[in-house]
Amino acid sequence: MTEQGGRLVADQVLLAFGRTPNTTSLGLDRAGVKTGPDGAIIVDASSRTNIPNIYAVGDVSNQFNLTPVAIREGHAFADSVFGKKAWQVDYSNVPTAVFSSPEIGAVGLTELEARAQYPAVDVYTVRFRSLKATVTGNCEASLLKVIVDCTTDRILGIHIFAEEASEIIQALAIAVGSGAIMKDFLSVMAVHPTIGEEIVAMRTPTVRYDRRDASSPLLAP
């Protein structure tokens, strides 16, 4: 059962229980370092704890439990404290992937997050079978979703369910983080046949959510 009340049919079920920061044996209480209910070390934007000379990076802070994030936090700490080049980690557009089959790649806001934060949002979606899948007899379908701010045309999030989604989302994260707009994507010449060409071929939003005009109808899904 999904949060929206829908049901998913699957061949197998994978139970993911999450992780709890392993901080109980670090002596944080003796040092006076504050932790959350789950044992996570509470830090500010610079990875500093409530004790000025104690910092914490990586999974112990339970923010983004990803290896690249931990490495980036370590770089920011070293540069800021020892390198005299102060900077902070930007968590706003962290690309993620699930190495399933097909893979899932995502960067930026989800559709629900975008609708909550912006007055008007366009959602572009496309479902398709790639040419290679058709030739080989593979029945796997792909799904692409691009979420756009109607006011500025800026891309807020991209979500991919397709082969090699992890590779594709890594490159697209650069565009999202750089403030690319939908017009930028549409100006790119497509490489055929690829999954990526579907993104630069999205001309019409599948649905529009506009809180500025309550009488404005949604486009047909």
Confidence at 219, pLDDT banded by 50, 70, 90: very low
What pTM was estimated for this model as a whole? 0.81
Find all residues with CB under 8 Å of 130, minimum gap 6, and list them: 142, 162, 163, 193, 194, 195
Confidence at 136, pLDDT banded by 50, 70, 90: low
Instruction: Give the catalytic positions in this structure.
Output: 192
Q: For the chain, how big is the Rg over CA atoms in Å?
A: 21
CATH homologous superfamily of 96-210: FAD/NAD-linked reductase, C-terminal dimerisation domain (3.30.390.30)
Q: Which residue ranges make up each domain of the chain?
A: 1-91, 96-210
61 burial (CB, 10 Å; 0-12 / 13-18 / 19+) is buried
**pLDDT tens sequence across 169-203:** 999 999 999 999 999 999 999 888 888 888 888 88
**pLDDT tens sequence across 72-91:** 999 999 999 999 999 999 99
Tokens 């944080």 belong to 28
Tell me the CB-side half-sphere exposure of residue 10, using CA atoms within 13 A. Answer: 8
Hey, which CATH number is domain 1-91, 3.50.50.60, 4.10.110.10, 3.40.50.280, 3.30.70.20? 3.50.50.60
Structural contact between residues 130 and 163, judged by C-beta atoms closer than 8 angstroms: yes
